[in-house]
Amino acid sequence: MEAIERGSEALGYRQLVAIARGDAELRLGAGALARLANGRAIVERIIKSGERAYGISTGLGALSEIVLSGAQQTELSRNTLMSHACGVGAPLSVPATRAIMVSLVNDLCHGKSGVSLGVVAQLVSLINRRITPVVPSQGSVGYIVHGAHIGLALIGIGDVSVDGRRIPAADALETAGLKPVELGAKDGLCLVNGTRCLTGLACLALAEAEQLADWADVTGALSFEGLKGQLAAYDEAVLALKPHSGLLHVGRRLRALLADSEIVAQAQGYRTQDALSIRSIPQIHGATRDQIDHVRSQIDTELGSATDNPLVIGTPDAYRVISNAHPHGQSLGMAMDLLAMAVAELGSVAERRLDRLINPAVSTLPAFLVQEGGVNSGMMIAQYAAASLAAENRLLAQPMVTDNHITSAQQEDHLSLGTPSALKCLQVIANTRHILAIEFLLAAQALEFYPGLKAGRGTGAAHALLRAEIPPYVKDRFLSPDIALVARRMGETGWAGAIAAAM
């Protein structure tokens, strides 16, 4: 298996996602180890000097004015994990938790947190041995809670997932030949602070959104073909008059997907102008791609950032320890709200397209895409499912970062709510994937009513891939498994790669 090294340079989001999904292992390079050693030496110097430093020799949050003795400083690390691990709700998925763990390692390796090397080594061991803490999904206002649950697993407390089984963390460590890590001063705070949770989830969301943007072009092109779309709206010269990069990119993809389509060629002049859900695919999908580009920039910056509090700067002989606000996740919180809106729009316009496919008043196709209507309902209720998901997305796409609550006795009186924003963004993505899967099924069924006419290069390849696993609908049959299969294929690379190769 490929090993990705976290050295002097920060991980990229694609590297983080590859490790989170189990496609690569994580290694610590010499540059990262040197930075970790330097940061820890500074913390040790602070402890030895007896100076006051937030979270090292003092309590946390509103208790930051309480000065702690040497033994209490170490005890605080364990107590921080115990008291902060108060998440509720269903557990995060294994990839989501692993993404947070990898993000945590990446951030700590900037060397500005002062964490003990043993803590980072234990995190890497759990990642590579597929020992994943069971982390409740809810309870974070931006950071803290998820990291605390992960931290407890490092010391053998709580449950973990191994090969799909939920077992006590202590048992998993023993089986793997690992010992509970010994926490030192500040280690507990290092594990719960910063934007690591938000960043890890955001990397997953970005990777999945990029994938969905490509699929939306494919399913949109299939619907365009099935609805006898007028290709002039995608004319290269016309689109160049509104040169947003995303718009131009989608225009090129649509022209490639539909190239050599006999269905489209025969339909030219059929109507003067298509409905906006068909005519404006470059404008709508392109706007989503432009927002994805912005989110990517925000994530890249965050991965290259040290987000702990306090941060240690310099060397053990010439250092500063500085309380700061880098754990505030405002930039990524806004980015996740934006991404949720952008992806929700992909689902919203797809639902409008697939609704047209089943309506003979606007499609000229058989009602609900089935020949024997009445005894067969065809794709009638599949559209209901898409409408339900689109409605849920509209609610989830409301911004979270503009909300606010006060925590820690007003010590933390402005919060990004970035982690819950990332979690709802991931739900929007999951919903949209299912909407696009439904559009794929319906649009492919529409092409069955153009016998003898060849589909486009890309759309034809997509149709053939689908039909290799799912036959046309002649009579009603169980639809839910078909939707699930297509959604699963959309999350893989095989179909997408074959379609790209055909264009």
Residues classed as catalytic: 54
Closest by Cα among 219, 279, 272 to 247 = 279
Residue 91 pairs in a beta bridge with 136
Kindly calculate the radius of gyration of the chain based on its CA atoms and give it in whole angstroms: 26
Burial of 493 (0-12, 13-18, 19+ CB in 10 A): exposed
Biggest CA pair distance of the chain: 84
CA dihedral 489, 494, 496, 502 (to 10 degrees): -140
CA dihedral 107, 425, 94, 90 (to 10 degrees): 120
Phi first, then psi: give them for residue 109, nearest 5 degrees: -75, -5
Helix, strand, coil percentages, rounded to 5, for the chain: 60, 10, 30
Closest by Cα among 405, 463, 489, 493 to 221 = 463
Written as six digits, the tokens of 209 are 């959104």
Secondary structure of residue 309 in the 3-state scheme: coil
Q: What is the DSSP letter of 368?
A: G
Q: How far is CA 474 from CA 263, 449, 469, 481, in A?
A: 21, 11, 15, 17
| 38 Cβ neighbours under 8 A, 6+ residues apart | 111, 315, 316
* Contact by Cβ (8 Å): 153, 160: yes
Write the single-letter amino acid at 63: L
Burial of 430 (0-12, 13-18, 19+ CB in 10 A): middle
Q: How far is CA 337 from CA 396, 397, 407, 423, in A?
A: 9, 7, 22, 10
Write the single-letter amino acid at 298: Q
* Contact by Cβ (8 Å): 274, 307: no
